[in-house]
Amino acid sequence: MTKKLYIETVGCQMNVLDSELVVASLRKNGYELTDNTRDADTILFNTCSVRQHAEDKIYSALGRLKNAKREAPHKIIGVLGCMAQKDQRLIFERAPYVDLIVGPGQLHQVPQLIAGIAAGGGPRMEVSLGRTEGARAEIERSHESFDPLRDPEMRPTPHQAYVRIMIGCDKFCTYCIVPSVRGPEQSRPPSQIVAEARQLAGEGCKEIVLLGQTVNSYRYQESDRRWRLSDLIYALDAIDGLERIKFVTNYPKDMTDDLLDAVGELPKCAKYLHVPAQSGSNRVLQRMKRGYTIEEYREMMDRIRARLPDAAVASDFIVGFCGETEDDFQLTCELVREQRFKNSFIFKYSERPGTRGADLYADDVPEEVKKRRNNELLAIQNEISEADNQPFLGRQVEVLVEGLSKAAEKHDDPAAQQVQLTGRTRCDRIVVFDGNRRQIGQVLPIAIVDANAHTLFGTVVTQHVGPELFTLKA
């Protein structure tokens, strides 16, 4: 009999991919998706621990299910992912009606664990070893990657797919919980990644996005060959059917010239790099233990501009990190003004128990100061993004059509063929235009007629077919 699964995902692209894989494995076990918790036999939350807000959201969602579980005790409620690994038994204490807790390294076990609970086996918890709970090899083994199963319905769009090339992180930035919950840095064998990309291209995927916490730290030693990210994207570029390859997120110190040259040379590689700076102040970077100075970050940006003059660069910033002064913050503003990033993801610092930052420093920047700095930096970035989009007016760009625009999705009439579509340029700029559903998944020439800070607006350039003359043979 078909069972119903409700799954909610918060957090980064890694979690979106993990949910895709969990859904694929549960479909094999007779589940189909539902979009409401009332109908569901199993309710899963795939969680994030990077900010307090993301955790609070999950605990309130669990709180709302208390009565539903009392009324229908057979419903299985599970918490997966980073928060499961971080909080472990605390989740059972705060929400005793939860049946299942599974860390990111044990997701392949979800179908068997659910079957065991349904058979009356009681609540289950499966998590990886902590970073100090064994030898490195043992800890690595306890964080298993889970990639071969895919479910196209769970992808961002049918024509795009995430491909994990590595798991974990060894950088230990002091504000970040990822090295604890996702474990040691481990790269997947290139042969597995290439086979997966081939399969995706065969299923109609036009774009793959390679994922890693520090994706450009990718290293894999085969018996006679050492693979870097540049070698991997050369191999992927040769796959028929793929149109675009992107990779996120980069670590500034590992942005090597061989990688920049590969991005420049390979036609399928997006001319887009996401390289978080996090702060413009050396004092803050040092406290964050980011492993580079702002001079080194600038030198990396100079190399990017010299080798890839048309590439777009995006960054991340944390404002209000422990001890950040007004002068430190002004250095960050200066860096953003000077480097003119395509866009910046800006976050207010959120202390994470279990990180070195939480142990070493007081979270001493008041919330209203964090908010003000966040808004100020966002305003600077928005002004730059808007100005940088203006030169596109009147130009023609090549857009991979991803699907309906956000506005069109809200009022979608499936019978209407003419719809508002959205897609991205090769340098990751969002373009919105009117088109036809059949154009989703195609690469189209679009003439840009308007622009704001976040979006370019355009029209499809239609090819005129000239009159053809046929001579009738006598």
Report whether 147 contacts 188 (CB < 8 A).
Answer: yes
- Choosing from 84, 178, 259, 336, the residue that interacts with ligand SF4 (CB under 6 A) is 178
CB under 6 A: which stretch of 77-85, 172-180, 326-334, 374-382 binds ligand SF4? 172-180
Report which secondary-structure segment, H or E, holds 420. Answer: strand 418-424
Q: Confirm or reject binding of residue 213 to ligand SF4 (CB under 6 A).
A: yes
Residue span binding ligand SF4 (CB under 6 A) among the ranges 60-68, 164-172, 279-287, 436-444: 164-172
Q: How far is the CB of 177 from ligand SF4 (least distance, A)?
A: 8
Residue 356 makes contact with ligand SF4 by CB under 6 A: no
CB of 236 vs ligand SF4, minimal distance in Å: 23
Helix (H) or strand (E) holding 403: strand 396-404
431's enclosing H/E stretch is strand 430-436
Encoded tokens for 73: 């005790």
Distance from C-alpha of 392 to C-alpha of 416, rounded to nearest angstrom = 30
- Does position 179 interact with ligand SF4 (CB under 6 A)? The reply is yes
Dihedral pair phi/psi, residue 126, rounded to 5°: -130, 115
Bridge pairing between strands 166-167 and 186-187: antiparallel
Q: Tell whether residue 345 is a contact of ligand SF4 (CB under 6 A).
A: no
Minimum CB separation of residue 288 from ligand SF4 in Å reads 8
From 12-20, 175-183, 299-307, 387-395, span contacting ligand SF4 (CB under 6 A): 175-183
Shortest Å distance, C-beta 185 to ligand SF4: 8
Alpha-carbon span 111 to 22, nearest angstrom: 8
Contact 76, 117 (CB under 8 A): yes
Which of 3, 131, 141, 171: binder of ligand SF4 (CB under 6 A)?
A: 171
Stretch that binds ligand SF4, among 31-39, 70-78, 176-184, 442-450 (CB under 6 A): 176-184
Among residues 109, 157, 214, 332, the one that binds ligand SF4 under rule CB under 6 A: 214
Rule CB under 6 A: say whether 176 interacts with ligand SF4: yes
Measure the CA–CA gap between 336 and 377, rounded to whole angstroms.
8
Q: Which is nearer to ligand SF4, 83 or 173 (CB)?
A: 173
Nearer Cβ to ligand SF4 (276/458): 276
CA distance 402 to 453: 20
Nearest to ligand SF4 of 46, 214 (CB atom): 214
Is the distance from CB of 425 to CB of 431 less than 8 angstroms?
A: yes
Structural contact between residues 106 and 88, judged by C-beta atoms closer than 8 angstroms: no
- 384 residue type, one letter: I
| Residue 397 in contact with ligand SF4, rule: CB under 6 A | no
Half-sphere exposure of 471 (CA within 13 A, CB side): 2
Which of 251/272 has CB closer to ligand SF4? 251
One residue of 173, 275, 294, 313 binding ligand SF4 per CB under 6 A: 173
- Give me 200's structure tokens: 């995706």
Residues that bind ligand SF4 (CB under 6 A): 169, 171-173, 176, 178-179, 213-214, 251
